[in-house]
Chains A and B, each alone.
Chain A
Amino acid sequence: MDQRLAELRDTAPAVPDRIPISLVVNGVEKRMEVAAWTTLLDLLRNTLDLPGTKKGCDHGQCGACTVLVDGRRINSCLTLAVMKDGCEVTTIEGLATGDVLHPMQQAFVDHDAYQCGYCTPGQICSAVGLISEGQARTREEIRDLMSGNICRCGAYPNIIAAIEGVLGGTAPAQAKEDPA
């Protein structure tokens, strides 16, 4: 039996080596070794201790995992970490400046643009990407260009209002203007 087990052990496929990569995550350079099949989402949440990015469907259908890579919004669940070697990643944890919220975060607070909050980090990162893409001008265009972010609570009207506010520069008072 021992010999049979030894033979079986020898026929097992070799587990591929972990691959060294470096990423700039929220402005900080991170060097690590990853398995090829580790998604950017799992790397952020499980290895880099950044659980703000959420795993919803894990199939690119819900948008909860949306982060910015080199400034563009993508689904981190359908992204292999190893393929983003050398890239800059911004997550919900990286948007605020110290205690001052990013204008989009502040707009979500001001417009009460969430209920349970699970989709919110993805919604906010997606909305930041939408603004920098510069393709949305009308409410209808915002709705279409935010369709990759699902909100099961149905907070869409306030989410759209928050984004519209930032887009039009009419967001309610920003945190930085608050003397308190």
Chain B
Amino acid sequence: MRAFSYSRAESVADALKGVVGHGETKVVAGGTNLLDLMKADVMRPTRLVDITRLPLNRIEETAEGGLRLGALVTNADTAHDERVRSRYPMLSRAILAGASAQLRNMATNGGNLLQRTRCYYFYDTGTPCNKREPGSGCGAIGGVNRIHAILGASEHCIATHPSDMCVALAALAAEIRVTGPRGERTIPFEAFHRLPGDAPQIDTNLAPDEIVTAIDLPARGFAAHSTYLKVRDRQSYAFALVSVAAALEIEDGKVTAARLALGGVAHKPWRDQAAEEALVGRPADAGSFAVAAEAVLRDARGFGHNDFKIDLARRAILRALQDAAASETP
């Protein structure tokens, strides 16, 4: 690891002061992704601001009947929280599908949102990568791209977002609370992560001088009919090739509300609201779900090694929706 200087923020204001005007400063909490990337020489901050002592480590009820997940609550504590388990089982399940028990004990909710792609070209400093070094090219296009995007990619980047938690948060329509020198603001989940376009080096719409303080879950948790399905190369401790967060509300055999988001397929957690809306009013059966799967994947495109993901995603969507329809409790 390259040398850097370190300071510990004692308050949110302190943390913001530390970040402002220091281009190569990074905020650190769990450190599970940032320190790994620093060891790999992919990220080279000259200064770290440790925010682990800030009072952002609680899970609280919101006035709207939802839950506010503090940015510093660990992934493990979030997944095992009784309120999250009972009211948002899809989220709990998604978190527990990611990483290992040790990493979930370290990684924070804010950090989970901000984790960077696991594209091998991003990690390999000997290869071009527009995300790591803008303008250098994309090693994955025309390279080995088995794990790469099938939706929303650009000619500059076909990397995927690696999070499981974020796929469930997208399906739940969570909101991200951030604070910065211009005050606090709330970012709808779908507007938080970006598609690569011509600036794949920018992962999110969080400004460089802002920090995430919390994730707000709306009251509607789809606890009765929801699931998180993750397909990967080994059963545990592997990133998703394709994952699906599926949530339904069903009355008299008909879908009255639907949520559908995919992981492992795009630069951001991929929620498709048109496909969700098309499900409403239809019978909660395989026929409807197959139509939804086709709708989500109508513009999907493979890059060679990852062509299989299109078919895999179609089947995973179908199965996840069927599982969600069948489930009563997780």
Interface residues, chain A, CB within 8 Å of chain B?
13, 15-16, 19, 35-37, 39, 58-60, 63, 66, 72-75, 78-80, 82-83, 126, 129-130, 133, 135, 143-149
Given that A126-B102, A135-B80, A147-B236 are known contacts, is A36 also in contact with B6, CB under 8 Å in the complex?
yes
Per-position binary interface string of chain B over residues 229-268, scored 1 when its CB falls under 8 Å from any chain A CB and 0 otherwise? 0000001110000000000000000000000000000000
Quote the shortest CB–CB distance from B205 to chain A (angstroms).
Answer: 27
Q: Kindly identify which residue among A15, A82, A83, A147 contacts B100, using a CB–CB cutoff of 8 Å.
A: A147
Given that A16-B4, A73-B105, A78-B106 are known contacts, is A148 also in contact with B80, CB under 8 Å in the complex?
no
- List B contacts of A16 (CB < 8 A): 3-6
Q: Kindly identify which residue among A37, A39, A75 contacts B103, using a CB–CB cutoff of 8 Å.
A: A75
**Residues of chain B in range 1-43 having any CB-CB distance to chain A below 8 Å:** 1-6, 28, 31-32, 35-36, 39-40
Q: Does B52 contact A (CB under 8 A)?
A: yes
- Whether the pair A144, B36 counts as a contact (CB closer than 8 A) is no
Per-position binary interface string of chain B over residues 95-120, scored 1 when its CB falls under 8 Å from any chain A CB and 0 otherwise? 00001111101100000000000000
- Whether the pair A59, B36 counts as a contact (CB closer than 8 A) is yes
Q: Does B48 contact A (CB under 8 A)?
A: yes
Q: How many residues of B contact A (CB 8 A)?
A: 28
Q: Does B209 contact A (CB under 8 A)?
A: no
- Whether the pair B48, A78 counts as a contact (CB closer than 8 A) is no
Q: How far is the CA of A145 from the CA of B80 in the complex (A)?
A: 13
Q: How far is the CA of A143 from the CA of B236 in the complex (A)?
A: 9
Provide 16 A-B residue pairs closer than 8 Å at the C-beta atoms, listed in order of the A residue. Answer: A13-B3, A19-B6, A37-B4, A59-B40, A60-B103, A74-B105, A78-B31, A78-B32, A79-B31, A79-B35, A82-B50, A83-B28, A126-B102, A129-B105, A130-B101, A144-B235
Q: Kindly identify which residue among B35, B48, B52, B105 contacts A72, using a CB–CB cutoff of 8 Å.
A: B105
- Whether the pair A148, B101 counts as a contact (CB closer than 8 A) is yes
- Whether the pair A58, B31 counts as a contact (CB closer than 8 A) is no
- Whether the pair A79, B106 counts as a contact (CB closer than 8 A) is yes
- List A contacts of B235 (CB < 8 A): 144, 147
Given that A135-B80, A148-B101 are known contacts, is A36 also in contact with B48, CB under 8 Å in the complex?
yes
Most central of B3, B28, B80 by chain A CB within 10 Å: B3
Given that A19-B6, A73-B101, A73-B105 are known contacts, is A80 also in contact with B236, CB under 8 Å in the complex?
no
- List A contacts of B50 (CB < 8 A): 80, 82-83
Q: How far is the CA of A82 from the CA of B99 in the complex (A)?
A: 24
Q: Kindly identify which residue among A37, A59, A72, A82 contacts B3, using a CB–CB cutoff of 8 Å.
A: A37
Most central of B31, B39, B48, B102 by chain A CB within 10 Å: B102
- List B contacts of A129 (CB < 8 A): 101-102, 105
Quote the shortest CB–CB distance from B1 to chain A (angstroms).
Answer: 5
Given that A73-B101, A145-B101, A148-B103 are known contacts, is A78 also in contact with B36, CB under 8 Å in the complex?
yes
Q: How far is the CA of A143 from the CA of B100 in the complex (A)?
A: 11
- List A contacts of B1 (CB < 8 A): 37
Quote the shortest CB–CB distance from A137 to chain B (angstroms).
Answer: 14
**Residues of chain B in range 212-243 having any CB-CB distance to chain A below 8 Å:** 235-237
Q: How far is the CA of A36 from the CA of B32 in the complex (A)?
A: 16
Quote the shortest CB–CB distance from A146 to chain B (angstroms).
Answer: 8
Q: Kindly identify which residue among A15, A75, A144 contacts B236, using a CB–CB cutoff of 8 Å.
A: A144
- List A contacts of B103 (CB < 8 A): 60, 75, 78, 148
Q: Kindly identify which residue among A35, A74, A80, A133 contacts B35, using a CB–CB cutoff of 8 Å.
A: A80
- Whether the pair B105, A83 counts as a contact (CB closer than 8 A) is no
- List A contacts of B31 (CB < 8 A): 78-80, 83
- List B contacts of A75 (CB < 8 A): 32, 102-103, 106
Quote the shortest CB–CB distance from B322 to chain A (angstroms).
Answer: 22
- Whether the pair B52, A83 counts as a contact (CB closer than 8 A) is yes
- List B contacts of A149 (CB < 8 A): 100
9 shortest A-B CB distances, which residue pairs? A148-B100, A36-B6, A147-B236, A147-B237, A16-B5, A37-B1, A148-B102, A72-B105, A144-B236
In the complex formed, the residue of B with least CB distance to A122 is: B102
- List A contacts of B4 (CB < 8 A): 16, 36-37
- List B contacts of A143 (CB < 8 A): 236
